[in-house]
Structure 1
């Protein structure tokens, strides 16, 4: 009997393996039993809702600890400045990679617009017309922080948390320390809640993938397979280039960083939700040795201003629409489009359907019909999974780079933490 127990302990699967099995089994279940699989959406939604209930208190408490706990606002300003520089470099690279890949592979050539697409395209265009950059920037400031928390508006929560953190740091050491200690305890409690919720992850992912395949079928990939392939290929190229640049800057092997983050990356890919992977990604980076104040500041900020996957997709999709309508889109126009997207893709995380809105608005401004967006929406779920994966990994790379750039940690300490926490255990 004792030998049997020991054997079971040896074959016990890690969370990564469980999530991967849930992904594969869910796809098979949805394919062979589509009627049943298409009914499992509530189970998947329950998992996403449990994750979302963690995000707001976690982000609020970690930002307060990171800002008020630091106390050195010059240091915090340097940290933010270096983060913004890296975000801009990564965003520019993402736009260029998307542009190059879509021009070489030309996924829009030969694709016909379905007759049912006009209504969806018109709706996207109408939404894009109402999307104003000035109003969006104004919307960053919350009129009611409780309402912002209820809506999970990350930009408004971050804005308020930064002001609140600065205020806590200035109300006196004794009072401020009390609030910081409470937030630190809340943060630790939310990480424990994350651990509990993640036990449900394989079941939730199984249900979500079963619903996706059961409802839409694998056949939806056939007409737009070239577009899906182009996006996945572009994201792989982008992450490889970004990883090489980060490795050259930090002298670290980012393949090791990728292995450290395999659980949150797989979780984010399976659920197509960056929020689902945020708590776990932050926990992995802290186990890697990165200081809490760096992780708690750069990661939430990056989730609003460093959406590499969504940025890459925007440039690729606009050119795809131009190709589909056989519209000549010269190099000058493409450069102007890049400059437009550099601005319009910043801070879009809090806007529902943000990528589609940005694509529709950019396409319309360059005279490209927006009805074609309807055909993109048919495979948006599959592409959203890749965009989410890229967004998460891009922000994790940014956090490691900024932490080393700010000299908050030495690369030898990261290597030591990797060996102790992710190899020997």
Structure 2
């Protein structure tokens, strides 16, 4: 948490330095100096974006494959997992639509009129346009190594889904070593991503200074418009999901929100819902959800239910397109939103993970990937971290409690009474031995029923 706070502080400091330096150059330097500064300072931007590109393929493959293989055998998890996936997909589509509608109505990027970057600042990501027909024919990879080498995110997602489903069908006995290995890979890549983010302050300084040197301080009004519109979109999405929670839990939804204060605070300060996982699981069990169901659905939500990330991705992608005056047809917008939704399923709930999704997706629609640095300068990852957790937990609690058919108003804190009346251990030689055995016995019976 301390490291995340330091990074945020450095981002703010370098953002302010970028504003000051850009304003000074715009006010006192000639056009030749402004042009030279803007072109040369973008070297820092180019380095950072290439580092981001470096982690995309292994991160998406490892996180998405592990998420699918952890589902287990279809005969066991089909009923719960299938319904949970329906909810995850529905909530993702809802969040994308909300973000898309708000950003289209508000046009926060209009007026920036940024020039398309030259080839010298290209990050190597695919930049060819994509139609609906091209999307369908481009989805299946001819070679996974080729897809990873060229960072074809959608092809990597498709291969990872096939790989994960095939691995899950073999059963835990065969896929456990592979799941463990890929889990290690995913954690390593997340660590690498954390290292890469230390370069972000310099990249943000370069991006902000370059833009303000060319455009002037008036561009900051567009930032304010972006933040305001994004808050409207995230609040609308949260309201809809909380309404669904109220339909299932009635007034108990407010008690659950009160119980989730600590996890939400952790997510807000670290910009990571993953950091809130232990406390969230504990609170859900105390609330009355089955530990087995919560333990099953909660990790899957990290890969398949990043609702807040979907609002951000749709909002940010359209903002960048508006800033560079990139005109997108209805079919291109539809394909881009679908690609963002699929790509997000391979990204864990870690700080600034949406950056990786955007960097991998928007170049395929002729949207400059350098535009993501304009949004990083806002340091809004911390803003949407808590909202993302709230949306995500709302969907989880609906699925956990509905599957258990729990009336939380009548049976709150369901777990504790069950633990206070365990079945006697006939093999225990004494009362002390029985109590010891009771502590070691796993949860069974209706408590773990799905």
Q: Could you state the TM-score of these two structures normalised by the residue count of structure 2?
A: 0.56
Does the CA-based 8 Å contact 1:124-1:356 persist in structure 2? no
Question: Partner of 1:125: helix, strand, or coil?
Answer: coil
Displacement of 1:399 in angstroms is: 2.1
Displacement of 1:146 in angstroms is: 5.0
The verdict on how the C-alpha distance between 1:348 and 1:34 changes in structure 2, with shifts beyond 3 A counting, is closer
Displacement of 1:327 in angstroms is: 2.7
Question: Partner of 2:404: helix, strand, or coil?
Answer: coil
Quote the residue 1:162 is aligned against.
Answer: none
Pair 1:88 & 2:85 matched: no
Quote the residue 1:125 is aligned against.
Answer: 125
Alignment of 1:38-53 (within 5 A): none
Deviations 1:118-170 (A, max 9, x none): 79973383699514334344375687555434445499xxxxxxxxxxxxxxx
Pair 1:355 & 2:389 matched: no
Of structures 1 and 2, the larger Rg is shown by 2
Displacement of 1:105 in angstroms is: 1.7
Does the CA-based 8 Å contact 2:290-2:404 persist in structure 1? no
Number of corresponding residues = 303
Q: Could you state the TM-score of these two structures normalised by the residue count of structure 1?
A: 0.59
Does the CA-based 8 Å contact 2:153-2:360 persist in structure 1? no
CA distance in 1, matches of 2:188, 2:285: 21
Quote the residue 1:148 is aligned against.
Answer: 182
Aligned partner (choices 357, 363, 380) of residue 383 of structure 1: 380
Does the CA-based 8 Å contact 2:313-2:358 persist in structure 1? yes
The verdict on how the C-alpha distance between 1:350 and 1:150 changes in structure 2, with shifts beyond 3 A counting, is farther
Does the CA-based 8 Å contact 1:310-1:391 persist in structure 2? yes
Displacement of 1:394 in angstroms is: 2.4
Alignment of 1:326-337 (within 5 A): 326-337=325-336
CA distance in 2, matches of 1:154, 1:254: 37
CA distance in 2, matches of 1:392, 1:294: 18
Quote the residue 1:399 is aligned against.
Answer: 396
The verdict on how the C-alpha distance between 1:150 and 1:347 changes in structure 2, with shifts beyond 3 A counting, is closer
CA distance in 1, matches of 2:92, 2:410: 29
Gaps of at least 5 residues in structure 2 are 15-65, 127-147, 168-174, 190-200, 210-218, 417-450
Displacement of 1:253 in angstroms is: 4.7
CA distance in 1, matches of 2:345, 2:188: 13
Pair 1:411 & 2:408 matched: yes
CA distance in 2, matches of 1:134, 1:281: 33
Question: Partner of 1:300: helix, strand, or coil?
Answer: helix
The verdict on how the C-alpha distance between 1:239 and 1:270 changes in structure 2, with shifts beyond 3 A counting, is same
The verdict on how the C-alpha distance between 1:292 and 1:133 changes in structure 2, with shifts beyond 3 A counting, is same
The verdict on how the C-alpha distance between 1:228 and 1:352 changes in structure 2, with shifts beyond 3 A counting, is closer
CA distance in 1, matches of 2:108, 2:288: 42
Question: Partner of 1:270: helix, strand, or coil?
Answer: helix
Gaps of at least 5 residues in structure 1 are 1-18, 36-59, 156-211, 421-425
Does the CA-based 8 Å contact 2:347-2:353 persist in structure 1? yes
How well do the aligned residues superpose, as a CA RMSD in angstroms?
4.4
